[in-house]
Chain A
């Protein structure tokens, strides 16, 4: 554990945010968890081998190990990844954001592979994504078809799977988010990086491991121009604290002022 901040709320979900050498969104993610959502959260060293105390572990954005060779290709060998695998097998939540998604794909915890953006350039901009599966721990505070507005910032975000795998993902409803226009249509021009089938986020078969290229931690406060990212964090909070409530008779999850899911204005 590198740093720990305890939540103020009665009900708490313990989050861990993994810090690889070269991660650069770990403090942004921690800020949302602790300062915005008032949850207990720790930064976890990439050398940690025990994650048993955590309900949800987040692999944040950045350039783990410089993204040398290929994004996420070195990070998957970090000691912490064995513990992440165990946590995933245990049914706890493992969530990869941007570079974290790339690491989960490289580690085989999520299907597919990441290619360079179709435009061969880094792209940082706001995009729209459509929720295509609301029955995951990360999206159940939204509803299928909802359009969220979130920033992306990546160079290797073109998601790829083989046609067979794609059919399997569709069939098992593992495609959680798709890039779309403001009206929810997944058109080619609304696809910022050439991802196959406009995929922006997928989960594993068990639905407890989730990766997405957009940055929900960058849109969880009105001052930053949008709050749609909060919906994903709040989904995790209510789901996990319900589980706590079921096991130890804790109170209902604290009501959070959820913002409407679509078209939150800004900029």
Chain B
């Protein structure tokens, strides 16, 4: 293949219809190099041909939005002349094959998206999903992915400050690695990938180009086969040291009048970067592959154009300033080459020693992929919403020892302490981390401003699998709720949509429903979605992952000193804001009891908005210093988390009594899950203020008890010592899958 260059449309993943469209438009058959270029750029990974239509529905406008979807990353105004730049991206397929390098290069890729905008990356967060903890491969994948993130993030000096690790049998063959990066830049210095000016120089800087990751975008747009080991060459190898030099060199050039545009080389390598930069600026580009420094001898033009070698950036430099800019790179120990010029004819032209080897219209190459038209899903009987909720097939007795149940729940794979993970990440470098992982939502200071930024993540596979609309809406609500618990106003969202094969009607339908749920929640909560990424074909042997939207929320604190953390303090009153009862269906407790999932609890977006506003007000007023949302593990799980975080116990009254009297199960009240719920700790003399805020926002409010001591007690229902709880909670993660 390397020598013969004899390629068919199917080899590069193009359909017959797509191939015909190419021939019709360029009025000839594309050659092997051109076909390869279409193959990667018209893959789902690059063209979003399956998801574009849906993504347009997501709200992306807002008063603070400086850059919405369409650039390397989105940006919002956070005051003081600063912009926060944010994006989340997946690296699922490479991580399934080679977890360490797959995850490491995922970090590298998202960092380049951020500093391509001129922003200094200030934080990373990652959402990881793995399969059955008992499966022998799960531990290998988990250790590899966490090790890869630590290897890359720690070395480049960007703190990994937040994250989630979820286990669900649906991810056993297809783990998910979604990495979010946040950056800061003076808002008048945002760099865009908008090139212009015929004659300006096209400079390639960073790593030399090798055969690694040839056509990785096409690889990421197909199902994994059983011969995954043979796909290893499609996974790239990361060099975080080189990336660190690239960051510093590129940031030194921000604001330089001779720097016209910057584009990172990610999926589709040089092909993607030159095409994007030409299509974006509505101009043309001419590149000679002979000028590209290589790592290996004998590479063909096609290989150079399709390589996904890491740590490379494309920089457009004003004509005449080339040698000065190249000297800056040299000072940082970076190699750079002038590989071509911008033109004004709208054509991407690839030369090899002066001979044209590919010549294609930039906009067509970039955006010409026909959008996918979904098949009508087969008519499946939809449950009548008026019918009562499904009752469990078999009875579920209320446990005798609810304390023991709480301990088991806190030791569950999805709930136990993540300290063994986040201690492997440098979460303090750059000295902005005010509230670290393990203390609730991460709070970062913005040096020199008095403001703070908060990162929150949301996404719940179990709910998405049961009800994609609710799952999509809940991912947005949860991410915003996490931010609200710190006392911050959510100002921007970024999302990563992880799904199976979109051409399967059930997968398509779930994608549509998830996006609709996210849209409605983002509108209800008034937060724009400024960037995102779609990862499809997450399936193996025809079995897809559960639909998995991961949402990241950026929150803004006007006064960084005024924020709440998850841990209780001594002498507080504990309250529940939001409804008291929870649902066992779709809960961790249900999973623990091996109870079949039914419908998830309904999500009332108006109530969600009011609960979040209420918490925010109480934190801003200084009434509440501790807050965490009720998620996996339910109300008792939230109380335990708050107690474990600081080692301060809590003694509750029988707050379950009224619910139980009205027919609720006590285990559903304690461990059931549901949205729009937050546990807060207030100064004990501010009970009136809590009640008043709850009334003002029409939020149900229940006084739970008082903090202090070294036990978690709920009247005569449950009493466990913090030491015993901590023993299970803190040590379980390192022993997952043992036995």
**B-side contacts of A221, CB under 8 Å:** 431
Binds B, one of A102-110, A121-129, A194-202, A243-251: A121-129
**B-side contacts of A21, CB under 8 Å:** 241, 244-245, 332-333
CB–CB B241/A153 < 8 A: no
Chain A residues touching B, range = 20 to 34
A123 to B421, CA, bound (A): 10
CB–CB B241/A22 < 8 A: yes
For B239, give the chain A residue with the smallest CB separation.
Answer: A66
CB–CB B431/A65 < 8 A: no
Does B424 have its Cβ within 8 Å of any Cβ on chain A?
yes
Does A255 have its Cβ within 8 Å of any Cβ on chain B?
no
A25 to B447, CA, bound (A): 15
A223 to B562, CA, bound (A): 11
For A220, give the chain B residue with the smallest CB separation.
Answer: B431
Does A28 have its Cβ within 8 Å of any Cβ on chain B?
yes
CB–CB B428/A215 < 8 A: yes
Shortest CB distance B185–A (Å): 16
CB–CB B430/A122 < 8 A: no
Does A217 have its Cβ within 8 Å of any Cβ on chain B?
yes
Shortest CB distance B538–A (Å): 28
With a 10 A CB-CB cut-off, give which of B242, B244, B560, B561 has the most chain A CB atoms: B244
CB–CB B155/A267 < 8 A: no
Does A49 have its Cβ within 8 Å of any Cβ on chain B?
no
**B-side contacts of A140, CB under 8 Å:** none
For B160, give the chain A residue with the smallest CB separation.
Answer: A124
Does B240 have its Cβ within 8 Å of any Cβ on chain A?
yes
- Could you mark each residue 312-352 of chain B with 1 if its beta carbon is under 8 Å from any beta carbon of chain A, else 0? 00000000000000000000110000000000000000000
A155 to B425, CA, bound (A): 10
A153-B426, A223-B561 as given contacts; A66 in contact with B155, CB under 8 Å: yes
A124 to B427, CA, bound (A): 7
- Of the candidates A24, A121, A224, A267, which one forms a contact with B157 in the assembled complex, judged by CB atoms under 8 Å apart? A24
Does B597 have its Cβ within 8 Å of any Cβ on chain A?
no
For A224, give the chain B residue with the smallest CB separation.
Answer: B431
Does B445 have its Cβ within 8 Å of any Cβ on chain A?
yes
Segment 411-465 of B: residues with Cβ below 8 Å from A: 422-431, 433-436, 439, 445, 447
A31-B447, A223-B445 as given contacts; A124 in contact with B241, CB under 8 Å: no
A153 to B155, CA, bound (A): 11
CB–CB A153/B244 < 8 A: no
CB–CB A24/B156 < 8 A: yes
A153 to B423, CA, bound (A): 9
CB–CB B157/A62 < 8 A: yes
A124 to B150, CA, bound (A): 10
Shortest CB distance B492–A (Å): 24
CB–CB A223/B240 < 8 A: no
CB–CB B244/A63 < 8 A: yes
CB–CB B560/A28 < 8 A: no
Does B154 have its Cβ within 8 Å of any Cβ on chain A?
yes
CB–CB B155/A63 < 8 A: yes
CB–CB B431/A66 < 8 A: no
- Of the candidates B156, B424, B435, which one forms a contact with A122 in the assembled complex, judged by CB atoms under 8 Å apart? B424
With a 10 A CB-CB cut-off, give which of A32, A65, A68, A122 has the most chain B CB atoms: A122
CB–CB B426/A28 < 8 A: no
Shortest CB distance B272–A (Å): 27
User: Number of B residues whose C-beta is below 8 Å from A?
Assistant: 33
- Of the candidates B244, B424, B434, B439, which one forms a contact with A24 in the assembled complex, judged by CB atoms under 8 Å apart? B244
CB–CB A25/B244 < 8 A: no
Does A27 have its Cβ within 8 Å of any Cβ on chain B?
yes
- Of the candidates B241, B244, B427, which one forms a contact with A68 in the assembled complex, judged by CB atoms under 8 Å apart? B241
**B-side contacts of A151, CB under 8 Å:** 428
CB–CB A63/B241 < 8 A: yes
**B-side contacts of A63, CB under 8 Å:** 154-155, 157, 240-241, 244
CB–CB A224/B425 < 8 A: no
Does A218 have its Cβ within 8 Å of any Cβ on chain B?
yes
A200 to B199, CA, bound (A): 57
CB–CB B240/A66 < 8 A: yes
Shortest CB distance B417–A (Å): 13
A21-B332, A63-B241, A124-B423 as given contacts; A28 in contact with B429, CB under 8 Å: yes
- Of the candidates B150, B423, B431, which one forms a contact with A125 in the assembled complex, judged by CB atoms under 8 Å apart? B423
For A155, give the chain B residue with the smallest CB separation.
Answer: B154
CB–CB B241/A122 < 8 A: no
- Of the candidates A68, A122, A124, A218, which one forms a contact with B431 in the assembled complex, judged by CB atoms under 8 Å apart? A218
A68 to B239, CA, bound (A): 10
A225 to B435, CA, bound (A): 9
**A-side contacts of B333, CB under 8 Å:** 21
Shortest CB distance B674–A (Å): 30
For A215, give the chain B residue with the smallest CB separation.
Answer: B428
- Of the candidates A62, A68, A124, which one forms a contact with B424 in the assembled complex, judged by CB atoms under 8 Å apart? A124
- Of the candidates A61, A65, A224, which one forms a contact with B241 in the assembled complex, judged by CB atoms under 8 Å apart? A65
A35 to B449, CA, bound (A): 13
A65 to B332, CA, bound (A): 11
- Could you mark each residue 4-42 of chain A with 1 if its beta carbon is under 8 Å from any beta carbon of chain B, else 0? 000000000000000001101101100110010000000
For A23, give the chain B residue with the smallest CB separation.
Answer: B157
**A-side contacts of B434, CB under 8 Å:** 223-225
A32 to B423, CA, bound (A): 24
**B-side contacts of A68, CB under 8 Å:** 241
A199 to B27, CA, bound (A): 73
CB–CB A123/B430 < 8 A: no
Shortest CB distance A17–B (Å): 14
- Could you mark each residue 131-164 of chain B with 1 if its beta carbon is under 8 Å from any beta carbon of chain A, else 0? 0000000000000000100100011110000000
For A222, give the chain B residue with the smallest CB separation.
Answer: B561
CB–CB B428/A124 < 8 A: yes
**A-side contacts of B560, CB under 8 Å:** 223
Shortest CB distance A125–B (Å): 5
CB–CB A121/B241 < 8 A: no
Shortest CB distance A6–B (Å): 18
**A-side contacts of B239, CB under 8 Å:** 66
**A-side contacts of B428, CB under 8 Å:** 124, 151, 153, 215, 218, 224
- Could you mark each residue 198-231 of chain A with 1 if its beta carbon is under 8 Å from any beta carbon of chain B, else 0? 0000000000000000010110010111000000
**A-side contacts of B439, CB under 8 Å:** 267
**B-side contacts of A224, CB under 8 Å:** 428, 431, 433-434
Shortest CB distance B188–A (Å): 21
For B445, give the chain A residue with the smallest CB separation.
Answer: A223
CB–CB B427/A27 < 8 A: no
CB–CB A27/B430 < 8 A: yes
**A-side contacts of B426, CB under 8 Å:** 122, 124, 153
A113 to B156, CA, bound (A): 24
**B-side contacts of A65, CB under 8 Å:** 241
CB–CB B244/A22 < 8 A: yes
Segment 52-96 of A: residues with Cβ below 8 Å from B: 61-63, 65-68
**A-side contacts of B430, CB under 8 Å:** 27-28
A72 to B430, CA, bound (A): 21
CB–CB B240/A121 < 8 A: no
CB–CB B424/A153 < 8 A: no
- Of the candidates A24, A32, A121, A125, which one forms a contact with B429 in the assembled complex, judged by CB atoms under 8 Å apart? A24
Segment 609-654 of B: residues with Cβ below 8 Å from A: none
**B-side contacts of A61, CB under 8 Å:** 429
CB–CB A25/B433 < 8 A: no
**A-side contacts of B156, CB under 8 Å:** 24
Shortest CB distance A79–B (Å): 13
Segment 121-153 of A: residues with Cβ below 8 Å from B: 121-125, 151, 153
A215 to B428, CA, bound (A): 10
Mind listing 13 A-B residue pairs with CB under 8 Å? A21-B241, A24-B429, A31-B447, A63-B244, A66-B240, A66-B241, A66-B242, A67-B155, A122-B424, A151-B428, A155-B154, A215-B428, A224-B431
By Cβ-Cβ distance, the 5 closest A-B pairs, closest first, are: A24-B157, A66-B241, A28-B431, A153-B426, A63-B155
* New A-B contacts (14) at CB < 8 Å, excluding given A21-B332, A31-B447: A21-B241, A22-B245, A24-B244, A63-B240, A66-B155, A121-B147, A121-B423, A122-B150, A122-B154, A124-B428, A153-B429, A223-B434, A224-B431, A225-B434
Binding site for A on B (CB under 8 A): 147, 150, 154-157, 239-242, 244-245, 332-333, 422-431, 433-436, 439, 445, 447, 560-561
